[in-house]
Structure 1
Amino acid sequence: MESMPLISIIMPVYNAEQYLASSIDSLLAQTVKDFELLLINDGSKDNSLAICREYEARDSRVRVFDKPNGGVSSARNMGLDVAQGEWLMFVDSDDWLTENTLELCLEHTPENDVVCFAFRLLYKDNTSYDKPLCATKGLRDYFKHQIQRRGGVRACGALYRRSIIADNKIYFTPGIIYGEDWLWAMRVTLCCKKIKPLTHSFCYHYNLMNQSSCTNTMSVRKVIQQLKVLKIIKECLAQTDALGSASNYRKHFRDTRCSVVLDALRMFSPKETCEHVIEVYDEITFIDRWDVLLADISLRKKIRLFKFLRYCRANGLPRS
């Protein structure tokens, strides 16, 4: 009987033929060889599946799964269901890792449940930017930082103890496109005892050269879904005492709420912004005057938020 691999690397694949081989090669070249690579083809319409099959035929560590298109969350969830390793890692199909990434992470196990590392951002003009992780003191400090990072939290860039995820049935939420990583990572954090951030180990090469500019067309959904994710995270925190009560994180939720509304005001009119908030919270008191006064933001931003709240009151928009 074959022994289980030490690590399962899950890679969702969708129309990724341009960078897929480079991404897979970076994984197969790791100095640590005891892993399985799970390639989850999510209904690709290009040559991605054929490329995956070629690697599967050449290397016994590669396992390919083909499914109808359902989005990155459903592909990752399939990977979670078939993974066999003691540890888990996610890598996107157009990104790649430095060759000693797994080795570096394993140096900090088994005393940690998650080992996360930093990103090197790669741009179209062939420039790059190293994005270090914030140095945090303990799990609560890490959780506070993650609340405020919002879209900056990604499932990639970390090694996870699989039993934490399997025992607590932590899956990605289908239907959430903006913030699915944020929500999943926060749920994992709530179940962990210890997390190790490798603040200046820039192991994950995050490819921004292949991103289309769809910000404007998707902005409404982005705002709504970030509001939903923030609400779910707070509800999850209220259901556990692992990191103390939600009141310990009041400032961080408050600052993040204000940031989301400010993002919305940059894209929409006050009326549209209010409607998007109400769509999630059924009330405009999602943010109030005390939130604005106490928020860790500039005076200019506070004035903008006060004008927004005044507009809501003047127009009789719903309040609790």
Structure 2
Amino acid sequence: MVLPVYNAEEYITDCLDSILAQTYPYWKAYCINDGSKDNTASILDDYAKKDARIRVFHTPNAGAASARNFALNKIEDEEWISFIDADDYIGPSMYESIFKAIGNEHIDYVRLFSRRTPQRYNPQAVNSDESKNVNYKIVTREEYFVNESVGGYTHSLFVKKGIVDDHQVSFPEKMVMLEDQAFSIACATHAKKILILDQPRNYFYYSGNESSITRTSKDTSDDIIRCINIVYKAFLATGSTAIINDYFYSKYLPVKLDSLYSKRLHYRHIKLTERLLPEIKLRIGRLSFKTKIKYIIVKIFRLI
């Protein structure tokens, strides 16, 4: 598992304790201390001394995407990769449940679910029979994108290392936000069989950390466009008409464009919109919303 850490002295022990409590013993945690200025480094080093499965690397601060890419390059002999954030924690049977569900199936990608909680880590509270019940289904890549709830956070995926290596998937380091979505969706486009594991009690997102990057940062217009571009190219590479038409244009793109144009845009985005408006009115004024969206996004990619 990959664990980027920055100034997390208040929460990192909860996270690491939940990892050490796993009923599945064959794991390794790659902890990347991303230039923390608090006591995070010494806490990580102490845990690494106690358990050899915890591997700690100290790097200059470069952001979560860079830290995750650093870890991916350090992982050599692992078959599966998962991600966890420093202020989150996992149920004791999380990995046992995943491998139990995978069984002998040739799974490439596992879609996980999480539960948002205001509670700090409590071993007794998360050690529930509910988390041991394995509820899952297996779908094809096309079925996943067209019919299912597509994950976008790194903690929502459990992916074969071969997919990351063979297709050179990495986190886009220029992006402040949405880099996890770009990575997760790109990985899923290369999966043939996907397992959807509906067990939110196995991963807990701690909502009490007001300093978490997911709470203090906002999507920028540039990052939204970069993410759309990366995802669009990944879908084109699949050659799947169903994914492109029934997911990208019908579901993914309208949400992203709505988010994009509801923000205070950079001047170049405003100019881009002004350049497109006359052409949209002239050429596609009577077309369906779906077709307009498709036309606009093609133009965005060509003009930026």
Aligned residue runs from structure 1 range 45-124, under 5 A: 45-83=37-75, 84-109=77-102, 110-111=104-105, 112-123=107-118
Q: TM-score, normalised by structure 1?
A: 0.73
* 8 Å Cα contact 1:41/1:67 also seen in 2: yes
Q: Is 1:235 aligned to residue 227 of structure 2?
A: no
Percent identical across equivalent pairs?
Answer: 26
Show CA shifts across 1:209-251 (max 9, x none): 11349899965x523312221122112222343xx24x65224
1:278 shift after superposition: 5.9
Residue in 1 that maps onto 2:258: 262
Give, in whole Å, the separation in 1 of the partners of 2:109 and 2:86.
22
Give, in whole Å, the separation in 1 of the partners of 2:6 and 2:280.
37
Distance 1:200 1:279, change over 3 A: farther
Give, in whole Å, the separation in 2 of the partners of 1:21 and 1:35.
18
Show CA shifts across 1:148-188 (max 9, x none): 86xx6111133221122122221111111221111111111
Residue in 2 that maps onto 1:25: 17
Give, in whole Å, the separation in 1 of the partners of 2:266 and 2:161.
40
Aligned residues: 276
The one-letter amino acid of 1:164's match is: I
Unpaired stretches in structure 1, ≥5 consecutive residues: 1-8, 127-132, 296-301, 310-318
Give, in whole Å, the separation in 2 of the partners of 1:223 and 1:33.
43
Give, in whole Å, the separation in 1 of the partners of 2:236 and 2:276.
20
Give, in whole Å, the separation in 1 of the partners of 2:48 and 2:160.
25
* Residue number among 140, 153, 174 corresponding to 1:138 in the alignment: 140
Show CA shifts across 1:116-139 (max 9, x none): 22110124899xxxxxx9988531
Give, in whole Å, the separation in 1 of the partners of 2:155 and 2:288.
33
Give, in whole Å, the separation in 2 of the partners of 1:291 and 1:91.
44
Give, in whole Å, the separation in 2 of the partners of 1:154 and 1:177.
14
| Partner-residue secondary structure (3-state), 2:232 | helix
The one-letter amino acid of 2:86's match is: S
Which structure shows the bigger proportion of residues in helix conformation? 2
Aligned residue runs from structure 1 range 157-306, under 5 A: 157-212=156-211, 219=218, 222-241=220-239, 244-245=240-241, 248-255=243-250, 256-268=252-264, 272=265, 275-276=268-269, 283=276, 289=285, 293-294=289-290
* 8 Å Cα contact 2:14/2:120 also seen in 1: no
* 8 Å Cα contact 2:157/2:184 also seen in 1: no
Unpaired stretches in structure 2, ≥5 consecutive residues: 122-134, 297-302
Distance 1:137 1:106, change over 3 A: closer
Residue in 2 that maps onto 1:298: none
1:55 shift after superposition: 0.3
Q: Which moved more, 1:74-83 or 1:248-257?
A: 248-257
The one-letter amino acid of 2:164's match is: I
Greater RCO, 1 or 2 (C-alpha within 8 Å, sep 6+): 2
Give, in whole Å, the separation in 1 of the partners of 2:79 and 2:49.
24
Give, in whole Å, the separation in 2 of the partners of 1:136 and 1:291.
37
Give, in whole Å, the separation in 2 of the partners of 1:107 and 1:290.
52
Give, in whole Å, the separation in 1 of the partners of 2:287 and 2:144.
22
Give, in whole Å, the separation in 1 of the partners of 2:112 and 2:255.
26
Distance 1:42 1:123, change over 3 A: same
| Partner-residue secondary structure (3-state), 2:202 | strand
* 8 Å Cα contact 2:110/2:196 also seen in 1: yes
Distance 1:210 1:286, change over 3 A: farther
Distance 1:217 1:159, change over 3 A: closer
Q: Which moved more, 1:251-260 or 1:41-50?
A: 251-260
Show CA shifts across 1:270-291 (max 9, x none): xx488436669x8567996567
